[in-house]
């Protein structure tokens, strides 16, 4: 006899009710059809009222007495609703990345409309003109002043808002209701959606696509018309006009009455970027980002659900927008690390988009000037269709790049932050009134603080990370915010030689004022952009020419066009190069290319200076040559040799516990479980470096980690599915937080 299956069913599919899950038995006849996402009819409550709900999970274990579990009545036929699709996406997140179903459902379900909509209430006259005039005469005679004033105005204007009636004509709301019930007026309500971009105007000026762009758009059209469903990788150098391609692709999808979702990394989701979409599609756009209020967010979702908006633009989570008839998902800057969620389920937007598109019959376009090694690998294998754009649109030239060896500068006695060559070029630009961008991959005044006598690094007492020196004389932890006063005396050897190392934006700013008296600098880092809109305002000020130099961290390298910037300086390319992370080469290459791409966006040719202590590292030399292909070749060889993604896959098990001994025990137990299951199943899963976490303590919680490696992703996912129920239920693991991460973006 086959084992009984049970289905978890949610009745009220809203964010708030997700934890109210009811278990039902799956009748034998429905075993094949009842899967997550399917809509079912069930007996509900005391009276067994027939109620519809959604299946969110299937299991074999009854949660309570099996005799008391009711049975699903039938499957509700009909088209696959958005909710069904999103539940299936949640099921995918759970299986692929490891998380509870509730956490996965919370991730995909839009927030409920708890916030009241603003309504616009309009009053219309229901009476014929003669009738109304007769009534007016009658009211005037009886000295019904307010009523007469109201009716006179309504006769003249045909309609008025409720505010006008109440505030200006001084007609009480009670009277309005009476007039309505007497059939003399009609009151209409319309919801006004909060739309922070509503003031932008649609423009009718589509650019004429160049040949490279047109070829791509034609290829898409041909395949789209033929009903093909593909993932495309649009690899186009910075400034090649990828956004224009996106706009043209969206237009085709809209023509077929389908919707499009465009993902942009949160940090690039600025007024400038959104404006280009508004100018093409006007109010058919809905924007979703994390700085929106709950009300704005739920309004945006409502407009999407109603079909009032058919182009959704947003950061990672916009992927779950409730579009009924999705035709296309675009992921701009697909290599960006922000597409990976850092809370459980730790999903990657790229893989999730491909899954969601599969359900909806939609295509996916991934765009980047520096594609992720993963995506390029898939394009090479033919899994994605590769589109290439090698020229800058409008034929602006790529900047020339020069590498400056800082070791050489040091030997020559240059103790400045700026190499002689960079200093000279800056001087020239300042004289010519052209602008400069300086990029530093660090924040704060200096890097870590250590003792020059014994080498002790001063660390946060709550986290296993070094503290950072700030100019006000304090040491801060960037993870938990711990702050303490800087002292020269070493806590270990008691020598007075503790000092700050490294380079930070504040220090560079100070050096700029010293070397170039009178220079105007805008410094952008986490500290100066904390205020809402600060980021935006600083970029606008720079764009308006209010400063000569824009100095900043990562946040300045993202897609802004400054035609007057002719020099970009990368002060210390090494800062991101020497992480222990297998992606650090890739990340450095991407940052350098992006930073370099900021130079020479206008008519004037741009120059880039990369300062580094590792002038021969391939991530730096290939970025200087603008050669993605050369970079990819080397990086692929390295990943292949080491067995890192995409050549093999990694599954991370992160164990967190306030008790160190329990964390250690847990790692050992899990390791043993894996080894035992290996012996029986012979999966060949390799356990790397057991127990070591790069950060071993964070906010007083101990962290242990297991890295599992296998060439076949399925093997790892199967192992995870086998472990998960044991880890969730077994009392040995109570009080320990266990998280999974599949193909991580950072090491733990």
Place of tokens 């599919």: 13
Q: Is 335 in the site for ligand ADP (CB under 6 A)?
A: no
| Smallest separation (angstroms) from ligand ADP to the CB of 392 | 7
Which CB, 394 or 496, lies closer to Zn ion?
496
| Smallest separation (angstroms) from Zn ion to the CB of 448 | 13
**Which two structure tokens, joined as six digits, stand for 423?**
């200093």
| String of contacts with ligand ADP for each residue 268-307, x by CB under 6 A | ----------------------------------------
- Site for Zn ion (CB under 5 A): how many residues? 14
Residue 456 contact partner, candidates ligand ADP, Zn ion, none, CB within 5 to 8 A by sort of partner: Zn ion
- Give Dmax (Cα) for the chain: 102
Which range, of 202-210, 311-319, 346-354, 405-413, touches ligand ADP by CB under 6 A?
Answer: 202-210
DSSP-assigned letter for residue 456: P
Contacts of ligand ADP in 222-251 (CB under 6 A): 236, 238-244
Beta bridge partners of 39: 54
| Smallest separation (angstroms) from ligand ADP to the CB of 496 | 52
Which CB, 558 or 583, lies closer to ligand ADP?
558
DSSP-assigned letter for residue 457: B
Sheet holding 474-476, edge to edge: 468-469, 474-476, 483-485
| Smallest separation (angstroms) from ligand ADP to the CB of 374 | 20
Q: Rounded CA gap, 71 and 260, in Å? A: 39
Which CB, 558 or 649, lies closer to ligand ADP?
558
Of these, 379, 385, 393, 651, which contacts ligand ADP (CB under 6 A)? 393
| Smallest separation (angstroms) from Zn ion to the CB of 452 | 8
Instruction: Return the exposure string of 472-505: e unless at least 16 CB atoms fall within 10 Å of the residue's CB, then b.
Output: eeebbbeeeeeeeebeeebeeeeeeebebebbbb
Of these, 456, 671, 696, 718, which contacts Zn ion (CB under 5 A)? 456
| Smallest separation (angstroms) from ligand ADP to the CB of 267 | 15
Of these, 477, 577, 620, 653, which contacts Zn ion (CB under 5 A)? 477
Could you give the 3-state DSSP secondary structure of residue 682?
Answer: coil
Residue 543 contact partner, candidates ligand ADP, Zn ion, none, CB within 5 to 8 A by sort of partner: none
Q: Is 394 in the site for ligand ADP (CB under 6 A)?
A: yes
CA dihedral 82, 88, 91, 92 (to 10 degrees): -110
CB 574 within 8 A of CB 584: no
Beta bridge partners of 54: 10, 39
| Smallest separation (angstroms) from ligand ADP to the CB of 352 | 23
Contacts of Zn ion in 480-509 (CB under 5 A): 480, 482, 490, 492-493
| Smallest separation (angstroms) from Zn ion to the CB of 701 | 11
Residue 561 contact partner, candidates ligand ADP, Zn ion, none, CB within 5 to 8 A by sort of partner: ligand ADP
Q: Is 210 in the site for ligand ADP (CB under 6 A)?
A: yes
CA dihedral 612, 617, 619, 620 (to 10 degrees): 40
Q: Supply the DSSP string of 537-572, one letter for each residue.
A: HHHHHHHTTS-SEEEESGGGSSS---TTEEEEEES-
**Which two structure tokens, joined as six digits, stand for 69?**
């579990």
Of these, 23, 84, 85, 213, which contacts ligand ADP (CB under 6 A)? 213
> How many other β-carbons are positioned within 10 Å of the β-carbon of residue 737?
15
Which CB, 70 or 275, lies closer to ligand ADP?
275
| Smallest separation (angstroms) from Zn ion to the CB of 494 | 7
448 backbone dihedrals φ, ψ, rounded to 5°: -70, 165
Of these, 70, 152, 305, 462, which contacts Zn ion (CB under 5 A)? 462
CA dist 501 → 165, 452, 474, 573 (Å): 70, 10, 14, 16
| String of contacts with Zn ion for each residue 688-727, x by CB under 5 A | ----------------------------------------
| Smallest separation (angstroms) from Zn ion to the CB of 496 | 9
Which CB, 37 or 600, lies closer to ligand ADP?
600
61 backbone dihedrals φ, ψ, rounded to 5°: -100, 125
Of these, 397, 454, 637, 658, which contacts Zn ion (CB under 5 A)? 454
Residue 571 contact partner, candidates Zn ion, ligand ADP, none, CB within 5 to 8 A by sort of partner: none
Candidates 91, 32, 25, 90; CA nearest to 60 is 25
| Smallest separation (angstroms) from ligand ADP to the CB of 286 | 21
Q: Rounded CA gap, 52 and 54, in Å? A: 7
Which CB, 52 or 219, lies closer to ligand ADP?
219
Contacts of 29 (CB under 8 A, 6+ apart): none
Contacts of Zn ion in 414-453 (CB under 5 A): 451, 453
Q: Rounded CA gap, 189 and 662, in Å? A: 60
| Smallest separation (angstroms) from ligand ADP to the CB of 573 | 22
Which CB, 258 or 560, lies closer to ligand ADP?
560
| Smallest separation (angstroms) from ligand ADP to the CB of 433 | 22
CA dihedral 174, 179, 185, 190 (to 10 degrees): 20
CA dist 182 → 157, 177, 589 (Å): 21, 9, 74
**Which two structure tokens, joined as six digits, stand for 581?**
């992370």
Residue 480 contact partner, candidates Zn ion, ligand ADP, none, CB within 5 to 8 A by sort of partner: Zn ion
Contacts of ligand ADP in 549-578 (CB under 6 A): 561
- Site for ligand ADP (CB under 6 A): how many residues? 16
Sheet holding 607-612, edge to edge: 400-405, 607-612, 565-570, 435-439, 549-552, 521-524
Candidates 487, 449, 443, 488; CA nearest to 469 is 449
Alpha helices in 256-293 (DSSP H): 271-281
Q: Rounded CA gap, 39 and 138, in Å? A: 60
**Which two structure tokens, joined as six digits, stand for 195?**
């739309």
| Smallest separation (angstroms) from ligand ADP to the CB of 246 | 8
Which CB, 446 or 460, lies closer to Zn ion?
460
Q: What is the CA radius of gyration of the chain?
A: 31
Which CB, 483 or 625, lies closer to Zn ion?
483
Which range, of 88-96, 109-117, 180-188, 207-215, touches ligand ADP by CB under 6 A?
Answer: 207-215
Chain residues binding Zn ion by CB under 5 A are: 451, 453-454, 456, 460, 462-463, 477, 479-480, 482, 490, 492-493
Chain residues binding ligand ADP by CB under 6 A are: 207-210, 213, 236, 238-244, 393-394, 561
């Amino acid at each position: 006899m086959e084992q009984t299956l049970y289905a978890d069913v949610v009745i009220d599919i809203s964010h708030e009710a997700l934890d109210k899950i009811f278990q039902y038995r799956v009748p034998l006849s429905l075993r094949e059809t009842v899967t997550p996402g399917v809509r079912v009819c069930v007996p509900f409550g005391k009276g067994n009222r027939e109620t519809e709900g959604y299946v969110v999970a299937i299991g074999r274990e009854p949660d309570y007495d099996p005799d008391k579990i009711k049975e699903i009545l039938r499957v509700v036929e009909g088209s696959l609703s958005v909710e069904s699709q999103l539940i299936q996406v949640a099921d995918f997140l759970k299986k692929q990345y490891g998380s509870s179903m509730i956490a996965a459902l919370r991730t995909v379900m839009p927030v409920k409309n708890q916030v009241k909509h603003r309504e616009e209430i309009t009053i219309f006259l229901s009476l014929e003109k003669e009738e109304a005039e007769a009534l007016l005469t009658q009211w005037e005679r009886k000295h019904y002043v307010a009523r007469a004033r109201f009716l006179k105005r309504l006769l003249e204007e045909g309609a008025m808002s409720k505010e006008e009636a109440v505030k200006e004509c001084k007609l009480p709301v009670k009277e309005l209701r009476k007039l309505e019930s007497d059939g003399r007026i009609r009151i209409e309500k319309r919801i006004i959606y909060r739309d922070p971009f509503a003031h932008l105007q649609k423009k009718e000026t589509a650019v004429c696509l160049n040949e490279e762009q047109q070829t791509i758009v034609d290829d898409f059209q041909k395949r789209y018309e033929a009903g093909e469903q593909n993932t495309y990788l649009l690899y186009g150098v910075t400034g090649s006009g990828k956004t224009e391609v996106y706009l043209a692709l969206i237009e085709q999808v809209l023509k077929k009455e389908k919707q499009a979702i465009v993902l942009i990394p949160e940090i690039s989701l600025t007024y400038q970027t959104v404006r280009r979409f508004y100018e093409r599609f006007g109010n058919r756009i809905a924007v979703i980002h994390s700085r929106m209020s709950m009300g704005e967010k739920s309004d945006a979702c409502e407009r999407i659900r109603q079909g009032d908006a058919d182009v959704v633009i947003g950061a990672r989570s916009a992927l779950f927008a409730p579009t009924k008839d999705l035709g296309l998902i675009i992921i701009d800057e697909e290599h960006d690390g922000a597409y990976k969620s850092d809370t459980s389920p730790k999903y990657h937007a790229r893989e999730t988009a491909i899954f969601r598109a599969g359900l909806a019959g939609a295509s996916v376009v991934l765009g980047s000037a520096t594609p992720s090694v993963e995506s390029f690998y898939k394009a090479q294998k033919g899994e994605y269709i590769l589109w290439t754009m090698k020229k800058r649109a409008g034929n602006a030239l790529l900047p020339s790049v020069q590498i400056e060896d800082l070791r050489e500068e040091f030997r020559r006695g240059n103790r400045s932050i700026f190499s002689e060559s960079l200093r000279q070029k800056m001087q020239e630009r300042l004289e010519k009134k052209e602008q400069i961008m300086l990029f530093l991959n660090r924040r704060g005044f200096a890097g870590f603080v250590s003792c020059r006598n014994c080498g002790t690094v001063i660390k946060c007492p709550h986290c296993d990370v070094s503290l950072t020196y700030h100019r006000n004389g304090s040491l801060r932890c960037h993870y938990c915010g711990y702050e303490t006063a800087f002292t020269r005396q070493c806590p270990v050897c008691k020598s007075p030689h503790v000092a700050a190392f490294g380079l930070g934006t504040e220090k560079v700013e100070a050096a700029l004022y010293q070397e170039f008296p009178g220079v105007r600098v805008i410094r952008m880092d986490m500290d100066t952009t904390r205020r809402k809109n600060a980021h935006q305002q600083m970029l606008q000020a720079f764009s308006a020419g209010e400063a000569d130099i824009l100095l900043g961290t990562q946040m300045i390298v993202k897609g802004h066009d400054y035609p007057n910037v002719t020099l970009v300086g990368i002060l210390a390319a090494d800062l991101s190069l020497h992480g222990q992370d297998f992606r650090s080469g890739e990340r450095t290459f991407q940052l350098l290319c992006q930073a370099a791409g900021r130079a020479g966006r206008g008519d004037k040719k741009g120059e880039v200076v990369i300062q580094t202590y590792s002038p021969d590292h391939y991530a730096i030399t290939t970025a200087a040559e603008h050669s993605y292909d050369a970079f990819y070749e080397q990086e692929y060889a390295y990943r292949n040799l080491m067995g890192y993604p995409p050549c093999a896959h990694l599954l991370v098990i992160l164990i967190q516990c306030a008790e160190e001994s329990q964390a250690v025990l847990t790692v050992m137990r899990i390791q043993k479980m894996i080894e035992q299951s290996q012996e029986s199943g012979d999966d060949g899963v390799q356990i790397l470096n057991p127990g070591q976490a790069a950060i071993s303590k964070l906010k007083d919680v101990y962290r242990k980690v297991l890295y599992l490696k296998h060439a076949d992703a399925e093997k790892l996912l199967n192992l995870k599915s086998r472990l998960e129920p044991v880890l969730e239920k077994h009392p040995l693991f109570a009080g320990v937080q266990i998280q999974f991460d599949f193909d991580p973006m950072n090491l733990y």
